[in-house]
């Protein structure tokens, strides 16, 4: 299945750099990366994809990482991109790991942002409840939608992030752009470990937020088994959405990585 994407195109006909492919996290979209894309596109082609059931991509059953990685591969094949640097955040990081295992020659380097190749516990009950309240409440304004979500989610920043997925239908009702039912049905696969076997042999960077619980030191052995060449870097003052909370430090970390590979 081909995915919707933001594609900046080549910088010029003689551009020697590889494209950077960007994969967002759960309930995110390519749009979340526009400020970073604006900087990266000055020196290289950037392709940010909406994963299945997210953004403007199709809603289909199944959220296994092998399925999502195949979507990405098919989309890049359609764009005639044979080799690329690959960046994935959270759920997108697990998709990136799966794709790197499937196509190690195509993935020139791998950057995984604040996720480890391990299974996680169920942790989004409040978010699903908040989103269901919006479906049932049929809000006509973002203020109404926020009030509905606030009954389940206390953190305003989380509600604001979820609200980036709201669109207005023909009746003037705000609805979710994401495939909420498909994501909920596939949630057990989302919190599972990435699909595939073996290790990705290429250069890799594991970025984690200093305030995030997602990538613990206890996962070093699991990371080494999947990305043996990975270097770890911690962005202090950042949580799980490290690229949004510490954008300059995030950019600098990637620049340092690309300079040495």
Q: Give catalytic status of residue 29 as yes or no.
A: no
CB-count burial class (<10 Å; 0-12, 13-18, 19+) for 199: middle
Residue 12: band (very low, low, confident or very high) from pLDDT cuts 50, 70, 90? low
User: Which residues are paired to 174 by β-bridges?
Assistant: 168
Q: Is the pLDDT of residue 101 over 90?
A: yes
Mean pLDDT to the nearest integer, 162-184:
98
Using pLDDT thresholds of 50, 70 and 90, give the confidence band for residue 10: confident
The size of the chain, in residues, is 261
The reply to whether 170 belongs to the active site is: no
Residue 240 annotated among the catalytic residues of the structure: yes
Could you say which of 36, 54, 89, 240 is catalytic?
Answer: 240
Q: How do residues 52-96 score in pLDDT, each as one tens digit?
A: 999 999 999 999 999 999 999 999 999 999 999 999 999 999 999
Nearest residue to 165 (alpha-carbon basis) of 131, 198, 122, 208: 131
Q: Which domains does the chain have, with CATH numbers?
A: 5-120+191-260 (3.40.50.1820), 125-179 (no CATH)
pLDDT, one tens digit per residue, over 219-261 is 999 999 999 999 999 999 999 999 999 999 999 999 999 999 9
- The pTM assigned to this predicted structure is 0.96
Q: Which tens digits make up the pLDDT trace of 118-161?
A: 999 988 999 999 999 999 999 999 999 999 999 999 999 999 99
Do the bridges between strand 230-235 and strand 166-168 make them parallel or antiparallel, or are there none, so unpaired? Answer: unpaired
Whether pLDDT at 16 is above 70: no
Out of 57, 90, 109, 212, the active site residue is 90
Q: Are 59 and 180 in contact (CB under 8 A)?
A: no
76-84 long-range contacts, CB within 8 A, separation 24+: 76/21, 76/47, 76/106, 78/2, 79/5, 79/7, 79/47, 81/19, 81/21, 81/47, 82/106, 83/18, 83/107, 83/108, 84/18, 84/19, 84/20, 84/21, 84/47, 84/108
């Amino acid at each position: 299945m081909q995915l919707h994407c933001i594609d900046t195109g080549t910088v010029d006909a003689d551009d020697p750099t590889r494209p950077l492919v960007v994969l967002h996290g759960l309930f995110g979209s390519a749009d979340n990366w526009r400020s970073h894309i604006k900087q990266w596109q000055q020196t290289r082609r950037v392709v940010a994809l909406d994963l299945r059931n997210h953004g403007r991509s199709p809603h289909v059953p199944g959220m296994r990482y092998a399925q999502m990685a195949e979507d990405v591969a098919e989309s890049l094949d359609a764009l005639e991109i044979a080799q690329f640097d690959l960046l994935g955040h959270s759920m997108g990081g697990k998709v990136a790991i799966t794709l790197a295992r499937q196509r190690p020659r195509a993935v020139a380097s791998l950057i995984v942002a604040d996720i480890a190749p391990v299974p996680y516990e169920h942790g989004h009950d409040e978010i699903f409840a908040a989103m269901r309240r919006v479906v049932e409440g049929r809000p006509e304004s973002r203020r109404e939608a926020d009030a509905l979500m606030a009954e389940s989610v206390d953190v305003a920043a989380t509600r604001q992030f979820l609200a980036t997925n709201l669109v207005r239908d023909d009746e003037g009702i705000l609805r979710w752009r994401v495939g909420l039912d498909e994501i909920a049905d596939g949630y057990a696969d989302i919190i599972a470990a990435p699909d595939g076997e073996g290790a990705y042999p290429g250069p890799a960077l594991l970025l984690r937020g200093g305030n995030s619980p997602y990538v613990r030191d206890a996962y070093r052995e699991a990371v080494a088994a999947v990305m043996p060449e990975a270097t770890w870097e911690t962005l202090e003052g950042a949580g799980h959405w490290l690229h949004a909370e510490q954008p300059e430090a995030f950019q600098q970390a990637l620049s340092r990585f690309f300079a040495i590979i």
